[in-house]
């Protein structure tokens, strides 16, 4: 598989996205995969807004583009970012000399969003290695370029994020993941309860930092990517649930603009057996 990725990395981005579309459509022939996508779209209330083939195409593109994102030269990869909206928020945050909590949801190619940012500014990112050794090696090498340092999602990683923020650097976190037992908070996401990690919000509410949301969009026909930067701070100091709900509403808004670009294959709505039950009035309070 590693060899296949290396061969794919030589292909132009438009061809990779074209092949990825076909790959994503073929993957829909797997009943369990298609059922998961339908289930997630139903829970999000988006089945009438986006077709299953469009979602499959986005997932396939996301899979194959990783070969080029991780293996092509850094300057080539960052040049695929054709537009950046809200760049003034980034410059303002750095001009203040504060640390930055950079939140990047699973929208389109979040990998290139982090790599583009880390090519310019020192950034520490949480990193959970995949089970496959070949994927681990490619991912780590592809991400740890420029000014990027990856750390494990444990106590040592949290300490590294805190140290980076104290130095006025950036902590990069994916905010729309399901949390593990003991480190999460329930919050509404598309009117369903989701057990989100509390770490990014505790970082943002316990220190004087800037909080930026960065969202990626694939441009048509493999022309590259558009990034959108949005400043979210100041987040409410108490409670953490309020800050999470505020951020997730903005992420929802961005997903609704381009629902085919989201990672609907992720089990974001799953209920963890080892997590506490969601509050009974969670959805009513958020309405």
Question: From the centroid of its chain, how far is CA 37?
Answer: 18
Question: pTM (2 decimals)?
Answer: 0.93
What region, left, alpha or beta, does residue 98 occupy, with left being phi > 0 and alpha being psi -120 to 50 degrees?
beta
Helix ranges (H only) for the chain are 2-8, 13-27, 31-44, 52-71, 74-79, 87-95, 110-118, 133-143, 155-166, 199-206, 240-257, 282-286
Q: Residue 99 in 3-state DSSP?
A: coil
* Close Cβ partners of 227 (under 8 Å, ≥ 6 residues apart): 81, 83, 84, 85, 113, 116, 214, 215, 216, 217
* pLDDT, tens only, 218-269: 999 999 999 999 998 777 666 788 888 889 999 999 999 999 999 999 988 8
- Cα(123)–Cα(111) distance, rounded to whole angstroms? 13
51-87 pLDDT, tens digit per residue, is: 999 999 999 999 999 999 999 999 999 999 999 999 9
Separation between Cα atoms, residue 115 and residue 204, nearest integer Å: 22
């Amino acid at each position: 598989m590693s060899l296949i990725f290396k061969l794919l990395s030589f292909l132009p981005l438009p061809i990779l996205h074209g092949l990825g579309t076909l790959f994503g459509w073929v993957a829909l022939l797997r009943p369990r995969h298609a059922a998961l996508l339908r289930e997630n779209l139903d829970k999000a209330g988006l089945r009438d807004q986006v077709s299953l083939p469009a979602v499959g195409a986005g997932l396939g593109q996301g899979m194959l583009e990783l070969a080029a994102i991780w293996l092509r030269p850094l300057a080539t990869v960052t040049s695929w970012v054709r537009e950046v909206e809200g760049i003034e928020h980034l410059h303002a945050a750095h001009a203040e000399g504060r640390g930055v909590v950079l939140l990047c949801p699973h929208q389109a190619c979040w990998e290139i969003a982090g790599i583009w940012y880390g090519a310019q500014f020192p950034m520490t990112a949480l990193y959970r290695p995949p089970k496959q050794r070949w994927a681990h090696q490619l991912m780590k090498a592809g991400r740890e370029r420029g000014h990027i340092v990856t750390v494990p999602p444990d106590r040592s990683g949290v300490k590294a994020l805190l140290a980076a923020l104290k130095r006025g650097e950036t902590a990069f976190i994916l905010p729309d993941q399901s949390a593990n037992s003991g480190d999460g908070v329930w919050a509404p996401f598309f009117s369903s309860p989701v057990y989100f990690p509390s770490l990014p919000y505790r970082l943002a509410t316990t220190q004087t930092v800037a909080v930026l949301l960065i969202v990626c969009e694939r441009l048509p026909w493999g022309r590259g990517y558009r990034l959108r930067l949005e400043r979210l701070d100041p987040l409410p100091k108490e409670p953490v649930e309020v800050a999470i709900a505020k951020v997730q509403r903005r992420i929802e808004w961005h997903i609704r603009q381009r629902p085919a670009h989201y990672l609907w294959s992720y089990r974001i709505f799953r209920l963890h057996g080892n997590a506490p039950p969601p509050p009974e009035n969670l959805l009513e309070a958020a309405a």
